[in-house]
Homo-oligomer: A and B are copies of this chain.
């Protein structure tokens, strides 16, 4: 039986692995696809302290080397569900079954895609799902924000302080966002609202975004708007279906300050938990705390 199974090999999971190895916990990290998680597809990261500018893949390689250097076992498999046998956590995976005293869920979250032409190929080349991460790359330039909720409008206001011009494209004529956020967006002189409109295509030249094709749903007219960046905020889905703990209405796992979930010995870190900010820096802090708490939990563990 493992002391600890970590599910997910992004920054939170790898940090938990680093700490667990240092605590001599018998640990395995299970990754479904690719070590590094969402951040590994980021072109440039400039806000993980210590690395003023590094590619997402480059940073995650360093994390992985760090963890493996301490002897962390990483295996590729998918966890289908977790059940309890007394206090033992039984993980059913595609390849079989694992038993552990404690589990850290570090499965992250994925932004919802629009599915328009250009979106996938240009992610990291002008298409972004995170203003905090990528906004500063668009200083003095033109960007488009897609979405009508709180996040879209808040991030448009944030971007309006960096970019020269911000378009907000929303398919309805009314916004779901809080009135307060909307007032701030309306007050920003460089934000232009394109309501009852949808983004149909993102266009590139020399491999980077140069324009967005937007359709006015009332007139059915299609127009190319020159922009350097397109920020898409149409929702985010945490990968938490496989674990039956308390979650909020969007599926983000609820934790307290110790990052324990509603089931003792199961912890959640990073983007998959209910947290005010989804960043490498915060996932790292979470991973360290959860592994530390696991150390105490395992020390006191009784099978039933």
Residues of A within 8 A of B (CB): 11, 14-15, 18-19, 22-24, 46-52, 59, 62-63, 65-67, 69, 132, 135-136, 154, 157-158, 161-162, 180, 184, 257-258, 275-277, 279, 281-289, 292-293, 295-296, 299-300
Nearest 10 A/B pairs, CB to CB? A285-B285, A281-B288, A282-B285, A50-B62, A277-B292, A52-B66, A15-B49, A281-B284, A24-B161, A49-B63
10 chain-A/chain-B pairs, Cβ below 8 angstroms: A22-B136, A49-B67, A49-B287, A50-B63, A180-B300, A184-B299, A275-B289, A281-B285, A281-B287, A285-B286
The binding surface of chain A is classed by DSSP as helix
- Taken together as a complex, chains A and B put the C-alpha atoms of A292 and B286 apart, in Å, by 16
Residues of B contacting A15 with CB < 8 Å? 49, 281
A288 touches B292 (CB 8 A): no
Tell whether, in the assembled complex, residue A46 and residue B59 are in contact, meaning their CB atoms are under 8 Å apart: no
Partner of A285, one of B14, B19, B62, B284: B284
**Out of B48, B277, B283, B292, which one reaches A276, CB within 8 Å?**
B292
B23 in contact with A52 (CB, 8 Å): no
Tell me the complex Cα distance, A59–B69, Å: 19
* CB-based contact A52/B69 at 8 Å: yes
Instruction: Tell me the smallest distance from the CB of A43 to a CB of chain B, in Å.
Output: 16
Q: For the complex, what is the distance from the CA of A59 to the CA of B50, rounded to whole Å?
A: 7
- B contact residues around A63 at 8 Å (CB): 49-50
